[in-house]
Each structure stands twice: as structure tokens, then as C-alpha cells.
């Protein structure tokens, strides 16, 4: 059997803020095209982990490799959906979605097509000329999602992106995410505190410990898609993850 | 929502107009009607209006018509203001963006900003003599200080997460500045332009009182010397109205250029 190439390799990743040890020697790999969900207690350092992975924070120790070389957002096509609202208030919805494409100097025709596609998927085509101050919270989050997808990233990082959305929209965007992931073959790291969401989306679930944080365990999730949240297998895996979390 | 706002605005406008009218009426009553004040202490509104009309053509007693004074003042104020903005905005932006520039410029800047604009007048007069240059330089300094402070804090207030979005998409330092920090600072930069205009205009009048041969401040100074309080009041009113017009123009331009409101 052919082994998939490791997309992300994390070696001995340690992050301290002064004396506060947040990430304590994290080690793991993510395979090309994999969908990894990361769950862990509040304040354990999930955001710190993604910020270190994108070099927004300098790790205290350890390496992070993407495609076998130290991660570098300037040369590697990464998108990061932040936990807090991050759409630019001075740009319209459409200009926000186009932002990453402009930074990456994507040719106009391709950029136009990507923007249209993403506006359509998140249902904001009619609101393309609105400014963020005119949008609801859930629409703002859709802008951030569309902006992240528009660049067709090879590595997509999402930090509790659907936490603030109402349940219908969450289900819809979860399915859209799976569609996009299948279509583009993107590697996804998805942080959530919602265990059902993790079981619904992931191929693997990484459970983190309390601070100082290390990897508690990584579970495989081979449930067939489309997944049925009421099936016995689904419930079993959900309960298993819940139990693991109870132990911290 | 828009309608409610316009309704509120027009209500506000009506009340403002009414209060101004009431003020003028009271002024008229204490002067022309009750004759509580002599006209060289407090001239009546009618007298001021007559002087205002006359001053368009008459050069007495200060050697120039109202329009000539106004243009002299505008030339100085706008000259100093525009150069102050042209230097102050980039200076504030680069001080906020680059620590080395900040360290280099800040000590000097912190000294300069504590000195009131008018205090430069005598220095400038000694350096370049009475005339356009000395006044324009005084205006330049006070406008520049306001511009630097506002552009600086505008850039410093850029949200970290906005810079991070740029950074994770691979933006260069220059792109982060031009595509994230400066657009996010634009509202503050326009606040700076408005504040700087106010300080330029007030500093100008003060500077003209001390060192001038023409201009609204000079006109007031001359009239005061010969107890022509009517001309003094005309000068004050023209200064106020011109200031308000200039400020409105700046805000209109600001509203055109600053998009999306101030909310995130
Ligand atoms: N820039 C920083 N400076 C100092 N301490 C920080 C910084 N960022 C995070 N921390 C600390 O690191 C710890 C982990 O924070 P982080 O935001 O990564 O947790 P999280 O798992 O994302 O939490 P949540 O579930 O609330 O999103 C917290 O104790 C926090 O106070
Ligand atoms: Mg977090």
C-alpha cells in the first residue's frame, strides 16, 4: 500500500508566553488531503497552535514543516480563518473575498471566477457591494470563509469558524466545506469545541490535553459519507470522544 | 433608519437656526432698542451688517477690502496647512510603522508638539521676517503636529487580526502597510485633517495679530486700535464662517473617501 506524503509535520513544538508554558512538546503529522479536527478544552492553546503554525507567533522550540520545508506563508498557499471577526470594514463583501487573490497576484480572469464561485457558495452574491458594518454576524463569518476559500489553499486552517452561526447555516456550511475539501483536495485543520461537528467533518480527530498542552490521542474516523448523526456508529464515536474529553 | 436620521438632522438644524436668531435678536434689543451699549463698545447687528456690506469695496481704515484680507488669510492658512498635511501624514504613518523612524523622530517631535503654534511666531519673524513665509511656517508647524498625532494613532490602532489576515496570505511589509494599515487608519487621518484645519485657522488669526500687513487677523488688530468694534465683529464672523466652510469641505471629502463606516 502506498503511504500518503505527510503535508504537515510538527516536531517538538513548544510555545511559552514568558513563564506560561502553553504548548508542551507537540508531535504529529497530517497527511496530504486529510481533514483533521482538533478538539480541546477552553484556553488550552488551540489558537496559539494555529498562530504558531502560520508563523504569526514564533515557536519557543520545535519545527513545523509543510511539504517537507519550514512553513512559510509567503511561498505556501495557506488560508487561515480566525476565531475573531476579521473582515476588513473598509472593503465591500466582494473586495474582501478578493483580498487574498490580490495579494497572491492571481490573474484577473481566474480571480473573478473564484470570487463569483465563493460568493455563490456562501450565499452573498446579492450582498457583494455591502460593507461589513451593514452585515449580520453570520454574514461576516461567511465573508471570512469565502475569502479563505477563494485562494484555493493547499492548507486550510479554521479556528472554530462556525461557533457563532445558527444551526441551519452551520449544517449548510459544513456540507459545503466537505464538498470543497473533496473537490480541491485541500488539507484541513479544523478547530472546534463541538464534538458532533468534529465527528461529522473529520477523517481524524486530535484530542488535546489541558494546559500545558500536548496531544492526548488521535482517533481515526472512517464513517462513510454522507454521515448520519443518528446512526449507531456515529453516536458511538461521538461518545468515545466525549469520554476522552471527560478525563482531563 | 436613514429617514429617522435625516429627520433628526433637520430637527437639529431648525433648533440651531432658532438659537442663532434668538442670539441676534437679544443682541439687537440690548443695542438698538434699549441702547444699553454705546456703539464703540458694542455695535448693533444692523451696524455690523452695514459695515460688512461696505467692507467689500472700502479699503479704509486698514488698507484693503474684506475680500483682499480674506484671500491673504486663506493663502497663508491653506499653504501652511497643505504642506503640513503633505509632510505630517506620511511622517505619522512611517513613525507608527517603523520603530527606527519612531525612535529617530519622536524626541524632536515630542518637544515641538508641546509648544503652542503661536509661540513660534517671534522665532519665525526673526528668522525670515514679517511676511508670507513666517506666517505660513507657523501654520505649517501647528497643522503638521495635529496630522502626525492622528495618522500615528490611526496606524497604531490597526487591528492585529487584520494584519494577520494579510500576513497569512503572504503579504509583504509594504502590502501590509498600504492594503491593511493605511486603509484602516483613513478615518483617523481625516479626523487629523479636520483638527489640523481648525488649529491652522486659529493659529493664523493669532499670528496675524502679531506679525502682518494684511489678513483678517491684521484687519481686526487695526480696527481694535481705533475702536471700530463693528469691523472687529465683521472679522470674527468672517473667520467663523470661513472656518466652518473649510471644515465642511474636508468632512465631505472624508465621507467620499472613507468607506464602510467605522465599524468592523
Ligand atoms: N499573545 C499572547 N500573550 C500571552 N499569553 C497568551 C497570548 N495568546 C494566548 N495566550 C495564553 O495562552 C493560553 C492559550 O490561549 P489560546 O487562545 O491559544 O487558547 P484556545 O485553546 O484557543 O482557547 P479558546 O477555546 O478560548 O479559543 C491562554 O492561557 C492565553 O492566556
Ligand atoms: Mg481560541
Q: What is the pLDDT of residue B2?
A: 57
CB B134 within 8 A of CB A39: no
Which phi and psi (to 5°) does residue A59 adopt? -60, 145
What does the pLDDT average to over B179-196?
A: 94
| Model pLDDT for residues B82-104, shown as the tens digit of each residue | 999 999 999 999 999 999 999 99
DSSP state of B179: I
On whether both B28 and B127 belong to a single domain, the answer is no
Residue ranges of the domains in chain A? 6-76+154-245, 88-152
Which residues are within 8 A (CB) of A205 and not within 5 positions of it... i.e. 6 or more apart? A36, A37, A38, A39, A198, A199, A218, A219, A221, A241
On whether both B120 and B4 belong to a single domain, the answer is no
- The whole-number mean pLDDT for each consecutive block of 10 residues of chain A, a chain of 248 residues, reads 72 92 92 93 91 93 92 93 93 96 95 94 92 89 92 94 84 87 90 93 93 89 89 92 78
If one looks up domain A6-76+154-245 in CATH, what number appears? 3.40.50.300
CB B144 within 8 A of CB B172: no
Q: Which pTM was predicted?
A: 0.88
Q: What is the pLDDT of residue B74?
A: 92
Q: Is the CB of A46 under 6 A from ligand 1?
A: yes
What does the pLDDT average to over B198-208?
A: 85
Q: What is the pLDDT of residue B38?
A: 79
Nearest ligand, measured from the Cα of A56: 1
Is A132's CB within 8 Å of B263's CB? yes
Which atom of ligand 1 is nearest to A160's Cα?
Answer: 27
Q: Among residues of chain A, what percentage have pLDDT more than 70?
A: 97
Residue B240: is its pLDDT beyond 70? yes
Q: What is the pLDDT of residue B39?
A: 75
Residue B251 in any domain: the answer is yes
Q: How far is the C-alpha of B139 from the C-alpha of B160, rounded, in Å?
A: 35
Round to the nearest angstrom and report the end-to-end CA distance of chain A.
Answer: 36
On whether both B85 and B23 belong to a single domain, the answer is no
Interface of B with A in 70-129 (CB under 8 A): none
On whether both B232 and B251 belong to a single domain, the answer is yes
Q: What is the pLDDT of residue A5?
A: 67
Q: Among residues of chain B, what percentage have pLDDT more than 90?
A: 42
What band does B178 get if pLDDT is binned at 50, 70 and 90? very high
What band does B205 get if pLDDT is binned at 50, 70 and 90? confident
On whether both B21 and B68 belong to a single domain, the answer is no
- What value of ipTM does the predicted structure carry? 0.92
Q: What is the pLDDT of residue B224?
A: 85
On whether both B156 and B207 belong to a single domain, the answer is yes
Q: Is the CB of A48 under 6 A from ligand 1?
A: yes
B173: closest chain A residue by CA: A74
Pick B264's closest partner by Cβ from A78, A89, A147: A89
Q: What is the pLDDT of residue A163?
A: 83
Q: What is the pLDDT of residue B42?
A: 84
Q: Is the CB of A23 under 6 A from ligand 1?
A: no
| Model pLDDT for residues B37-77, shown as the tens digit of each residue | 877 778 888 888 888 888 888 887 888 888 999 999 999 99
On whether both B149 and B63 belong to a single domain, the answer is yes
Residue B264 in any domain: the answer is no
Residue B104 in any domain: the answer is yes
Residue B152: is its pLDDT beyond 80? yes
- Of these ranges, A206-220, B111-125, B179-193, the one predicted with the greatest mean pLDDT is B179-193
On whether both B150 and B190 belong to a single domain, the answer is yes
Residue B248 in any domain: the answer is yes
Q: How far is the C-alpha of A206 from the C-alpha of A220, rounded, in Å?
A: 9
Structural domain of B134 = 43-257
**Average pLDDT value for chain B:** 88
> Which has more pLDDT, B119 or B179?
B179
User: What SS3 class is residue B187?
Assistant: helix
| Model pLDDT for residues A27-85, shown as the tens digit of each residue | 999 999 999 999 988 888 999 999 999 999 999 999 999 998 999 999 999 999 999 98
Which of A15, A46, A52, A211 for mutating ligand 1's site (highest number of atoms within 8 Å of CB)? A46
Pick A56's closest partner by Cβ from B164, B172, B262: B164
Q: What is the pLDDT of residue B264?
A: 36
Residue B259, chain A, CB below 8 Å: the answer is yes
Q: What is the pLDDT of residue B131?
A: 80
Residue B263: is its pLDDT beyond 50? no
Is A90's CB within 8 Å of B175's CB? no
What is each CA distance from B150 to A42, B24, B86, B93, in whole angstroms? 38, 37, 14, 9
Nearest ligand, measured from the Cα of A49: 1
Lay out the sheet containing A69-70: strands in order across. A20-31, A6-17, A61-66, A69-70
Q: Is the CB of A83 under 6 A from ligand 1?
A: yes
Residue B263 in any domain: the answer is no
Residue B226 in any domain: the answer is yes
Q: What is the pLDDT of residue A3?
A: 54
Output the domain CATH number for residue B190: 1.10.3720.10
Q: How many domains does chain B have?
A: 2
Which atom of ligand 1 is nearest to A193's Cα?
Answer: 25
On whether both B67 and B185 belong to a single domain, the answer is yes
3-state helix, strand, coil in chain B (%, to 5): 80, 0, 20
Residue B210: is its pLDDT beyond 80? no
Amino acid at each position: 500500500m502506498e503511504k500518503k506524503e505527510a503535508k504537515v509535520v510538527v516536531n517538538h513544538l513548544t510555545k511559552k508566553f514568558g513563564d506560561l508554558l502553553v504548548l508542551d512538546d507537540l508531535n504529529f503529522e497530517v497527511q496530504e488531503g486529510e481533514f483533521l479536527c482538533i478538539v480541546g478544552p477552553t484556553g488550552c492553546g488551540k489558537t496559539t497552535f494555529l498562530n504558531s503554525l502560520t508563523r504569526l507567533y514564533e515557536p519557543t522550540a520545535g519545527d513545523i514543516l509543510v511539504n517537507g520545508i519550514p512553513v512559510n506563508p509567503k511561498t505556501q498557499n495557506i488560508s487561515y480563518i480566525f476565531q475573531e471577526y476579521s473582515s476588513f470594514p473598509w472593503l465591500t463583501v466582494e473586495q474582501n473575498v478578493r483580498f487574498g487573490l490580490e495579494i497572491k497576484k492571481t490573474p484577473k480572469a481566474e480571480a473573478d471566477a473564484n470570487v463569483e464561485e465563493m460568493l455563490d457558495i456562501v450565499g452573498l452574491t446579492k450582498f457583494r457591494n455591502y460593507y461589513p458594518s451593514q452585515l449580520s454576524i453570520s454574514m461576516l463569518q461567511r465573508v471570512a470563509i469565502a475569502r479563505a476559500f477563494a485562494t484555493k489553499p493547499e492548507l486550510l486552517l479554521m479556528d472554530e469558524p462556525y461557533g457563532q452561526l445558527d444551526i441551519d447555516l452551520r449544517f449548510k456550511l459544513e456540507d459545503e466545506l466537505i464538498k470543497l475539501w473533496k473537490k480541491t483536495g485541500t488539507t484541513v485543520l479544523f478547530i472546534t469545541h463541538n464534538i458532533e461537528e468534529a465527528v461529522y467533518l473529520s477523517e481524524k480527530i486530535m484530542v488535546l490535553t489541558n494546559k500545558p498542552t500536548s496531544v492526548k490521542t488521535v482517533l481515526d474516523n472512517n464513517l462513510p459519507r454522507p454521515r448520519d448523526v443518528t446512526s449507531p456508529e456515529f453516536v458511538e464515536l461521538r461518545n468515545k470522544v466525549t469520554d476522552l474529553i471527560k478525563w482531563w | 433608519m436613514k429617514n429617522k436620521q435625516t429627520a433628526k438632522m433637520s430637527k437639529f438644524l431648525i433648533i440651531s437656526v432658532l438659537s442663532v436668531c434668538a442670539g441676534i435678536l437679544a443682541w439687537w434689543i440690548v443695542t438698538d432698542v434699549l441702547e444699553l451699549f454705546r456703539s464703540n463698545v458694542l455695535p448693533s447687528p444692523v451696524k455690523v451688517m452695514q459695515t460688512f456690506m461696505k467692507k467689500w469695496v472700502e479699503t479704509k481704515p486698514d488698507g484693503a477690502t474684506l475680500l483682499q484680507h480674506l484671500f491673504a488669510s486663506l493663502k497663508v492658512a491653506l499653504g501652511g496647512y497643505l504642506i503640513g498635511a503633505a509632510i505630517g501624514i506620511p511622517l505619522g504613518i512611517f513613525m507608527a510603522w517603523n520603530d527606527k523612524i519612531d525612535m529617530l523622530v519622536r524626541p524632536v517631535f515630542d518637544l515641538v508638539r508641546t509648544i503652542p503654534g503661536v509661540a513660534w511666531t517671534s522665532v519665525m519673524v526673526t528668522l525670515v521676517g514679517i511676511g508670507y513665509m513666517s506666517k505660513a511656517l507657523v501654520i505649517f508647524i501647528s497643522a503638521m503636529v495635529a496630522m502626525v498625532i492622528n495618522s500615528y494613532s490611526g496606524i497604531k490602532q490597526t487591528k492585529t487580526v487584520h494584519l494577520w489576515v494579510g500576513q497569512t496570505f503572504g503579504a509583504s511589509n509594504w502590502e501590509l502597510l498600504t492594503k491593511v494599515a493605511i486603509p484602516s487608519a483613513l478615518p483617523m487621518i481625516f479626523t487629523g485633517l479636520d483638527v489640523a484645519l481648525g488649529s491652522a485657522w486659529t493659529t493664523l488669526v493669532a499670528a496675524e495679530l502679531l506679525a502682518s500687513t494684511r489678513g483678517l487677523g491684521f484687519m481686526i488688530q487695526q480696527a481694535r486700535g481705533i475702536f471700530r468694534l463693528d469691523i472687529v465683529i465683521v472679522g470674527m464672523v468672517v473667520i467663523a464662517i470661513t472656518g466652518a466652510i473649510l471644515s465642511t469641505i474636508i468632512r465631505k471629502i472624508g465621507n467620499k473617501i472613507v468607506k464602510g463606516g467605522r465599524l468592523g
